Amino acid sequence: MLRVDASADLVTPDVLFALQPRIDNEHLLPRLDRFLWKNTTVDFIPSIPLSLSPRTAAGIAVGFISDPPTVVLAFTIVRFPTPCPRMKYLVLKYLPRNPTITEAVSEMFLACNRDTLQWF
């Protein structure tokens, strides 16, 4: 399980950006079972999909602390089911109320595996 508090931990967007070319179409954390990332700032939103993998089956929980850019957040949300086709739960806290985000969440939800997703 990966637990990251983006406001307090030493993982920076620069570190994640530097690791991105190293993974060569592989997952950064291939054995990750559960992804919990709280206090996510705008700098970390694009790096969330890098941490997910098909083994992230238990679930994903992400909380945002600032008003993230709508397009970046929507693009990230839509991508959740692709690397995690068997996730059991998904928690997205403090999403902005915006029609673009609503559409992205709906698209993501429809792309989820209905046989495995138990809690949203």
pLDDT category, 83, cuts 50, 70, 90?
confident
* Alpha carbon distance 41, 13 (integer Å): 10
Give tens-digit pLDDT for 98-120. 999 999 999 999 999 989 999 98
Sign for the pseudo-dihedral over CA of 62, 112, 89, 98 = positive
Work out the mean pLDDT of the chain and round it to a whole number. Answer: 80
Look at residue 111 in the predicted model and tell me its pLDDT: 93
What distances in angstroms separate CA 24 from CA 2, 28, 45, 50, 57, one per listed residue? Answer: 21, 9, 20, 11, 22
pTM of the model: 0.72
